Amino acid sequence: MAQSQIIRGGKLNANAGIESWYMKELEKLSRQMTRECARELKKLYAQEDEQIKFAQDAGISSQMRIKLNYLQKKYGDKFAEKSKELSKKLLTKLIA
């Protein structure tokens, strides 16, 4: 990059309102993730309970690993996308 194209700025300080907005946005996604993970894991435990009653072999650890890998990918992608969105909105709020 040419020297004239480099933009340098100082530290951006968010006020309490902007910080609160940012935290609420992250908490929304965190709550969604927590609810879905709890729901999915409870379903697997309920299935395991039924399998024990009927003496089936399907192990819960393998199913859990698959489900957790799926949820990790899903919410990793969601948080990555949300971080891009929030960073743009945050800069707009800080500069305005």
**Residue 61: pLDDT band with limits 50, 70, 90:** confident
Residue 7: CA atoms inside 13 Å, Cβ hemisphere, count?
1
- Residue 86 has what pLDDT? 94
The answer to the question of residue 72 being in a domain is yes
The answer to the question of residue 82 being in a domain is yes
Most confident among 13-22, 26-35, 87-96 (mean pLDDT): 26-35
- Residue 52 has what pLDDT? 57
- Does 30 score more than 90 pLDDT? yes
Domain limits for position 70: 26-95
The answer to the question of residue 4 being in a domain is no
Going from the C-alpha of 48 to that of each of 5, 13, 34, 58, 62, the distances in angstroms are 60, 50, 21, 8, 12
The answer to the question of residue 85 being in a domain is yes
Provide the domain count of the chain: 1
